[in-house]
Amino acid sequence: MTSSDLWDAETAARYDEASAAMFAPAVLDPAVDLLAGLAGEGRALELAIGTGRVGIPLAQRGVDVTGIELSAPMVEQLHRRRPDLPVTVGDMATTRAQGEYALVYLVFNTIGNLCTQDEQVACFANAARHLEPGGRFVVEVGVPALRRLPPGQAAVPFDVSEEHVGFDTYDPVTQRATSHHYSRQQDGSYRYAPHHFRYVWPGELDLMARLAGMSLESRWSGWSREPFTADSESHVSVWRKDRGAHR
């Protein structure tokens, strides 16, 4: 059983509004452009497709998109916008969708939703099982902000405004972390919503890919192919399934 947080109906109903910044064309269009180019004429599978922020516009580009999503309420929100997009409800580390794909992708830090290393390793293996030989697996995820966490400091803030305060707390031993969100409500009160995740380093992801029969092809700091450097706060990585790898 996965250790991922499960988005319930209430959370799913407000997910798009809470993530409105991620729908901005400047954020979304480069991701869809890159994924469409990698998919080419082939099929694409989005792990943890959520409400379809990326999957729906990618399908609108003519890509044959399928999804896997753990939260049935999130799938309901997706199908209100795109009823014909097929989604299998299940754990992205183990659930199988039908067929083979030229592209499997996982965006917006979602690999961290799998809160153990074993689950993350299983996710890479599951992605590889879905890929045709030479197919690609793409992951977008942040680089752990531990350089901003000096000894004695318990948290790293990532957003501080009148409407929202967010900070991360880290356990460097287990690589478990929690994002703490305090969002201002219409009545002036604040709603607290924690999100648990496991942070993971780029080199660790490369090893997971190798164990699954995939090799690193590209790594950028963003969807517009910006160079990845020691100062990058996130990365978009592309691994390619070795043509001799077993399914």
Which of the pair, 6 or 35, is modelled with greater confidence?
Answer: 35
- pLDDT the model gives residue 17: 77
Q: What is the spatial distance between Cα 58 and Cα 62, in angstroms, rounded to a whole number?
A: 7
DSSP conformational letter for 85? S
- pLDDT the model gives residue 218: 98
The architecture (CATH level 2) of 9-144+200-241 comes to 3-Layer(aba) Sandwich (3.40)
Domains of the chain, residue spans: 9-144+200-241, 146-195
Please write the tens of the pLDDT for every residue from 182-231: 999 889 898 898 999 999 999 999 999 999 999 999 999 999 999 999 99
> Quick one: average pLDDT of 40-62?
97
Q: Is the model's pLDDT at 247 over the cut of 60? A: no
Spelled out in words, what is the top-level CATH class assigned to the domain 146-195?
mainly beta
Q: pLDDT grade, residue 35 (50/70/90)?
A: very high
Please write the tens of the pLDDT for every residue from 60-84: 999 999 999 999 999 999 999 999 9
Which of the pair, 247 or 11, is modelled with greater confidence?
Answer: 11
> Quick one: average pLDDT of 120-124?
98
Please write the tens of the pLDDT for every residue from 136-147: 999 999 998 888
- pLDDT the model gives residue 174: 92
How high does pLDDT run on average in the chain? 93
- pLDDT the model gives residue 145: 85
| Residue 203 parent element (H or E) | helix 202-211
Please write the tens of the pLDDT for every residue from 83-109: 999 999 999 999 999 999 999 999 999
Beta-carbon contacts of 107 under 8 Å, excluding residues fewer than 6 positions away, are: 31, 46, 54, 138, 139, 140
- pLDDT the model gives residue 222: 97
Q: What is the spatial distance between Cα 115 and Cα 175, in angstroms, rounded to a whole number?
A: 9
Q: pLDDT grade, residue 4 (50/70/90)?
A: low
Please write the tens of the pLDDT for every residue from 152-178: 887 889 899 999 999 999 998 999 999
Q: pLDDT grade, residue 14 (50/70/90)?
A: confident
**Orientation of helix 117-130 relative to helix 202-211, angle to 10°:** 50
